[in-house]
Amino acid sequence: MSSVADLLRAAINPRAVAVVGASADVGKFGGRVMQFLVKHGYPGRIVPVNPGATCVFGIPAYKSITEVGAAIDVALLALPAQHLPAALEQCGAAEVPCCVIITADFAELGDEGAAREAELVRIARSHDMRLIGPNCLGFINPHVKLALTSSVALAVEPMPKGSVGLVSQSGSMMASMISHAADSGAGFSACVTVGNQADLEICDFIEYFLQDDTTHAICTYIEGLKNGPRFLALAERCREAGKPLLAVKAGSSDAGAHLTRSHTASFAGSHAVWQAAAQSGGVLAIDDPESMIDCAHFLTRFGPARNAGVAALSPSGGTIAVTADRLYGAGLELAELVPATREALSRIVPPTRPLNPLDVGGLPREQGVSAANDAQALLSNDPSVGIVFIVVATTPHLDEKVRKWGETAIASGKPTAILFTPGRLVDSARKTLREIGCPYTDRMDDALRVIRTAVDYGRVVSMRRGEAQPPAFIAVIEKQLSQLPIGRLTEPEAKSLLRAAGLSVTSEVLATNVEDAVAAATRLGYPVVLKAVCRELVHKSDIGAVKLGLLDEDAVRNAWRDVIANVAQHFPRSRMDGCVVQEMAAGGIEVILGARWDPQFGAVVMAGAGGILVEVMSDVALALAPLGPDDARTLLQKLKIWPVLAGTRGRPALDLEALTEALARLSWIAHTAGARLLELDVNPVLVKQHGVVALDARATTGPASS
Ligand code: ADP
Ligand code: MG
């Protein structure tokens, strides 16, 4: 086999599958798997293996997989944990390339389970064999009528066939997504569950779906990523291939993150970093699994919204009013219709009605049917409209209207989200849309997610991907890093890194005695600032180790005495390097810039409102390093404080260029240092009318290998 994708192609489109632990009892895993294989009409060879049976579901069984004597593309092992090692050895001996292990109770139970899981991987490796699972529910491929799963969803559901590829860490979530897809008209190229990802992991299946021609969108349910950089590299390939990559990631709450450990032994990681990574990678992050399928289905049908303008219409005046509110609340934009559209619409509806969102209800009967459809056609043709939103309410001639809406949507190719607000009453209209292959949703929340995703995907496909050129100063950063100690850095040490990257920092002198401090103050010019320099001291001002606005020599002497006394009181056993005498900066607004090393995604930078505002307003934005000036500006623009920096209500605009430049430079420090810089906080950075200056910095460095 030349690659994992080739191996998975054979496993997911197999000519022969084996079920080890096959049973006639559908109450057992091995019984259900057999039942679903047969029930869904898999046309390839089914090989039941069970030492105690001669025939299962009318198919001759083997005592051992080693006796089959013909190539098996994939084997599913439905066995208690203690029998797995021996069964895997036999699969290896029979040269089975890929095994699915549905058995649970491995790494998710803790260390002992993790050791047993590692043993399975070791056996597989020794035979050059790959594993899916354990603790998964197998996979389905509707295109070859293959249901290799024990999921009870397959007992009642037909397999919805389509072009969405799904890889899910959770088995029962796959079941719900299949069931939802069957109801909503979506369909799959394949659905794979990966459970604990002991060997093959989510990224392997993304890679498979990337190469699979029947897959046009890829959905993932992620509890923990094995390899963040690989995921992002694949996301970039998905973008290039025009296959949207969607993800629901568990762990946005502490409780959720905790549950991923006991569910699939997954480390959820920081959710804020995930969101930043997903955004920089063009991954469409969604908060609801079933809705993710709706979104993917929509994108496979219509592709991205070419611009963010939404045009909404409904035959219900009340519904369209609420729709306007909800679109606004979701932060979506209403399209500014072009004059030709406005003019044509004003011939259809009474002059008192606004044109977007548009109420097409209550028009004279004959006109009513066609007006609702004519309006859609006009909106679809309007170049300012990126996406049309039709909110279906009960109305005369509903079936006819909905059919035309669906047909026009598909014929025009303009992304069109159709929402049914009534319940079963309008099931026949839903059926009509399913028949013509037009996506729809049944809840406003889902419709808004679909619209948001289509708009976001529009941005993703137009994302510019200039390889950021490493600036010349990274050699200086390297040199400075090599001279710094490992562990917590003092303010002057942390600032030396900033200086190396060309960031502007306060002029300052490290003084080891009071006379030197006074001399330094004279040289710098009053007023000055005096701060303790002590490695153990993290929040200097908390213990009175920062003295601001010192106006003369006496003030410096008093401040020196106080600072020394305060540090001695709070950190009696710590060594002090002395005090730093700094120029006293004034004017402007304080912000925080920072960087973190994230074990999953690498160097991350953050910016936020400075001082206490950072905690009170939680005004922070993150992105993966490095950042070009455009990326840095985009990040800063997400801050609530941005309009204040940009100058509101007669306040002067501050030097946003300098701030953007500082953030970009800081991102290169983080990127260059990698795991050697665990965290860096520049708090505050003073943003002035001309220039910015770092007033304080702290950092923790780590060994190169961590
Ligand atoms: P820490 O964060 O360790 O408590 P800082 O060095 O950030 O100590 O000082 C606390 C506050 O004092 C800063 O947030 C800033 O408002 C102010 N400050 C610090 N250094 C200067 C300076 N050189 N010029 C003006 N103000 C300063
Ligand atoms: Mg500070």
| Pocket-testing residue among 592, 688, 696, 698, ligand 1, by greatest number of atoms within 8 A of Cβ | 696
Residues 544 and 630 in one domain: no
Residue 1 is predicted with a pLDDT of 45
List of long-range contacts for 335-341, beta carbons under 8 Å, 24+ apart = 335/307, 335/309, 335/310, 335/311, 335/382, 335/384, 335/385, 335/386, 336/309, 336/384, 337/311, 337/379, 337/382, 337/384, 337/385, 338/382, 338/383, 338/384, 340/382, 341/378, 341/379, 341/381, 341/382, 341/384
Residue with the smallest CA separation from ligand 1 atom 27 is 695
pTM score: 0.92
Ligand 1 pocket, CB under 6 A? 506, 529, 531, 539-541, 546, 548, 582, 584-585, 590, 611, 683-684, 695-696
| Pocket-testing residue among 507, 508, 541, 693, ligand 1, by greatest number of atoms within 8 A of Cβ | 541
| Pocket-testing residue among 543, 546, 567, ligand 1, by greatest number of atoms within 8 A of Cβ | 546
Q: Which residues face 19 on adjacent strands?
A: 48, 76
List of long-range contacts for 249-257, beta carbons under 8 Å, 24+ apart = 249/222, 249/223, 249/274, 249/278, 249/285, 250/221, 250/222, 250/223, 251/223, 251/224, 252/287
Mean pLDDT, consecutive 10-residue stretches, the chain (706 aa), reads 84 98 95 96 97 95 96 97 97 98 93 95 97 97 97 87 97 94 96 97 98 98 95 96 97 87 85 93 96 98 97 96 97 97 94 95 79 94 98 92 97 97 96 97 98 97 76 95 96 98 97 98 98 94 96 98 96 93 95 94 93 72 92 94 87 93 97 96 96 97 79
Residue with the smallest CA separation from ligand 1 atom 13 is 684
Residues 272 and 196 in one domain: yes
Residue 262 is predicted with a pLDDT of 85
Residues 327 and 405 in one domain: yes
Number of independent structural domains in the chain: 5
Asked whether residue 234 is assigned to any structural domain, the reply reads yes
Residue 466 is predicted with a pLDDT of 64
Residues 596 and 574 in one domain: no
The residue out of 275, 302, 329 marking a domain boundary is 302
Asked whether residue 145 is assigned to any structural domain, the reply reads no
Range of the domain at 668: 589-701
Closest ligand, as measured to the CA of 583: 1
Residues with CB under 5 A from ligand 2 (ion): 683, 696
Residues 84 and 198 in one domain: no
Residue with the smallest CA separation from ligand 1 atom 2 is 539
Asked whether residue 167 is assigned to any structural domain, the reply reads yes
Residues 220 and 230 in one domain: yes
Residues 171 and 262 in one domain: yes
Residues 649 and 629 in one domain: yes
Distance (Å) from CA 609 to ligand 1 centroid: 15
CB atoms within 10 A of CB 41: 11
* Ligand 1 atom at minimum distance from 684 CA: 14
Residues 342 and 275 in one domain: no
Asked whether residue 496 is assigned to any structural domain, the reply reads no
* Ligand 1 atom at minimum distance from 539 CA: 3
